[in-house]
A = this chain, B = another copy of it.
């Protein structure tokens, strides 16, 4: 087992470009053996705009069956044998949803903790809230929290108010104020957002404070808007450590316990489990 990372992915590659990128990435491993090399892939390589479209499993979905539904792109003349794992979709009317990559992390989580049953939250560009029972996805829901943060601070009128000073002294105060607003009134998100603009014009709020408020407001809104998903058990937060800590703060404000699960560990555990089948 080994790990290689690359910034080459769906956002940058045409389908035809994947084989060369993969061969380059695994060149030293290929040279150390004369045998074929299994490559198990999850995530956006299986999207319609990726390498080769992998079908979705329908939720409720048994993740033990992930590898059976994998697709195999061909790499003529190569000893690499790539397989791309499927994503999971939910066709329930009014609750249509899709995931790619998170299903593998969830399989990893269930491998690490086979008796876990309950809510899993996976913060990110498109955060996932998932009811997991063992290795079975019962239902899930996506919120666009991370992407909204990015486009609001880059393209909206709020770009004049926020800045990159995430380390600024009052970033944390802004974050807590935003979190409280979002938790208290998630139905007012589109109005509360403008408070950032007004706050910087009227109260001289700093860029750091406003950035913190925007982040806290969106996370608080996500948590409060889906409060009915939260049970009594500890909630695994699968994601980066820094982002996980921000969500943990939000859940703590409403009395929900959490633990952070590293996303890379969960992915690797999931790929191993899928390979074992």
Contact = CB atoms under 8 A, between A and B. Distances in A.
Interface of A: 48, 89-91, 94-98, 126, 141-145, 147-148, 151-152, 154-157, 181, 185-191, 193-195, 197-199, 201-203, 218, 221-222, 224-226
Nearest to A189: B189
A226 B188 contact: yes
Contacts of A221: 187, 189-190
Contacts of A218: 190
A26 to B, nearest CB: 30
B155 A154 contact: yes
9 closest Cβ pairs, A-B complex: A186-B187, A96-B198, A187-B225, A142-B194, A143-B190, A187-B187, A143-B191, A151-B155, A188-B225
26 contacts: A48-B201, A89-B198, A95-B195, A96-B202, A97-B195, A98-B201, A126-B194, A142-B194, A142-B198, A143-B193, A144-B156, A144-B194, A147-B157, A151-B151, A155-B155, A187-B187, A187-B224, A188-B226, A189-B189, A189-B190, A189-B221, A189-B225, A190-B221, A191-B222, A191-B225, A191-B226
A184 to B, nearest CB: 10
B97 A198 contact: yes
Contact of A190 (B97, B151, B202, B225): B225
Given A186-B188, A188-B226, 16 more contacts: A89-B198, A89-B201, A89-B202, A90-B198, A91-B203, A96-B195, A97-B195, A98-B202, A147-B157, A148-B190, A186-B186, A187-B224, A187-B225, A189-B190, A190-B225, A191-B222
A199 B155 contact: no
A101 to B, nearest CB: 14
> Would you call the interface of chain A mostly helix, strand, loop, or mixed?
helix
Contacts of A224: 187
